[in-house]
Amino acid sequence: MSDMMKAIQDEYADDYAWCYGCGRLNEQGLHLKTYWDGDQTVTTYTPREVHMAIPGFVYGGILASLIDCHGTGSAALALHRKNGHEPGDGIEPPRFVTGSLHVDFMKPTPSDVPLKAIGTVEEIHPKKWKVTTRVFAADTCCAKGEVVAVVMPDTFKN
Amino acid sequence: MSDMMKAIQDEYADDYAWCYGCGRLNEQGLHLKTYWDGDQTVTTYTPREVHMAIPGFVYGGILASLIDCHGTGSAALALHRKNGHEPGDGIEPPRFVTGSLHVDFMKPTPSDVPLKAIGTVEEIHPKKWKVTTRVFAADTCCAKGEVVAVVMPDTFKN
């Protein structure tokens, strides 16, 4: 990816940029960032040493978090593109929340390598998008995920 | 729950007590602890302030983590009981890993209240157990989860 590209999370409005998984304003968060790569989406993340299941292997809750924010971020990228916009063009993107999350843990995920989540986005309703994700550690697919992401409802607004 | 009761995570062998979600030896982890409550299982957890989706609401990845470790802990409790043991009797319990994780996010989950995960465990194979979980914030069920937990395979052992 070009250094010029922006992640969708760089573009969320400040009020919606506090997510522990992907909020740029959450200092202690994971700072997951999701980009277009052609017509797929990509989030790369290297777990912290403490994020282990047992020593040497990544904790499933971190993989679930990666798939979760990659899902909402991918859906936001896709709806933003459908609306004629790309990250960096100065238009605030839509903000999604997770309706459901499914993860199949295929193989133990080794620590110490960057994880790459690759997503495919499908519109199933104008406000509901499905993101299918594979998570790779080097060349090994260690987990598969599916997120149904929905445009943030008013019940989330304070 | 009686103060005398032990959580299943208190009983994991030291080598398997490093999980970011529930390992007692992981100093920066969440320290989730799962107990019997009759024939159901319970994990109570108060998210940290940083664990937000947006201010005022809990991050889904933390709910997924709660359901994940509650699932593996509940399965370990159940197989341990099937084998004639209870936490505290000095016998090392079995250790499970997550085969699959599903979460339906029903309602935004408010911060600042303890979350209570209540699980029902079902044996679907001697080494594979299904745990169905509801997560409550006060009296409101905010998420439902299902974990298929499997006895830790040799591929997880270093």
Task: With H, G, I as helix, E, B as strand and everything else as coil, classify residue B8.
Answer: helix
CB-CB: which of A19, A51, A62 is closest to B52?
A: A19
Given a cut of 80, whether residue B26 has pLDDT beyond it is yes
Average pLDDT in chain A: 95
The alpha-carbon gap from B83 to the nearest alpha carbon of chain A, in Å, equals: 24
* Cβ of residue A99 closer than 8 Å to a chain B Cβ: yes
* Cβ of residue A62 closer than 8 Å to a chain B Cβ: yes
What's the confidence (pLDDT) of residue A83?
A: 97
A97 contacts A129 by C-beta, under 8 angstroms: no
CA distances, B17 to each of A58, B26, B44, B69 (Å): 14, 7, 18, 12
CB-CB: which of A23, A27, A50 is closest to B29?
A: A50
- Distance between CA atoms of A9 and A69, rounded to whole angstroms? 10
Residue with tokens 């209540």: B118
- Is the CA virtual torsion B49, B52, B57, B58 positive or negative? negative
What pTM does this model have? 0.96
Query: For A115-143, what is each residue's pLDDT tens digit?
Result: 999 999 999 999 999 999 999 999 999 99
What's the confidence (pLDDT) of residue A158?
A: 53
DSSP string, A42-80: EEEE---TT-BSSTTBB-HHHHHHHHHHHHHHHHHHHHH
* Cβ of residue B150 closer than 8 Å to a chain A Cβ: no
- Distance between CA atoms of B28 and A77, rounded to whole angstroms? 33
Query: Which two tokens mark B22?
Result: 């529930």
Given a cut of 90, whether residue B156 has pLDDT beyond it is no
Query: For A33-63, what is each residue's pLDDT tens digit?
Result: 999 999 999 999 999 999 999 999 999 999 9
Residue with tokens 């979980």: B133
Query: Which two tokens mark A40?
Result: 């797929």
- Distance between CA atoms of A5 and A83, rounded to whole angstroms? 18
Pick the CATH number of B8-156 from 3.40.50.620, 3.10.129.10, 3.40.50.720, 3.30.2320.80: 3.10.129.10
Collect all residues of chain A within an 8 Å Cβ-Cβ radius of residue B57. 156
- Distance between CA atoms of A31 and B4, rounded to whole angstroms? 40
Task: With H, G, I as helix, E, B as strand and everything else as coil, classify residue A36.
Answer: strand
The alpha-carbon gap from A19 to the nearest alpha carbon of chain B, in Å, equals: 4
| Domain residue ranges in chain A | 8-156
What are the two backbone dihedrals, phi and then psi, of residue A46, each rounded to the nearest 5 degrees? Answer: -105, 110
Query: Which two tokens mark B29?
Result: 């982890």
Query: For B86-145, what is each residue's pLDDT tens digit?
Result: 999 999 999 999 999 999 999 999 998 999 999 999 999 999 999 999 999 999 999 999
The alpha-carbon gap from B112 to the nearest alpha carbon of chain A, in Å, equals: 15
Collect all residues of chain B within an 8 Å Cβ-Cβ radius of residue A50. 20, 26-29
What are the two backbone dihedrals, phi and then psi, of residue B54, each rounded to the nearest 5 degrees? Answer: -135, 165
The alpha-carbon gap from A142 to the nearest alpha carbon of chain B, in Å, equals: 11
What's the confidence (pLDDT) of residue A97?
A: 96
Given a cut of 60, whether residue B157 has pLDDT beyond it is yes
A·B CB contacts under 8 A: 134
CA distances, A11 to each of A35, A94, A104, A129, B148 (Å): 11, 9, 30, 19, 37
Q: Is A38 left (phi over 0), alpha (psi -120 to 50) or beta?
A: left
A97 contacts A152 by C-beta, under 8 angstroms: yes
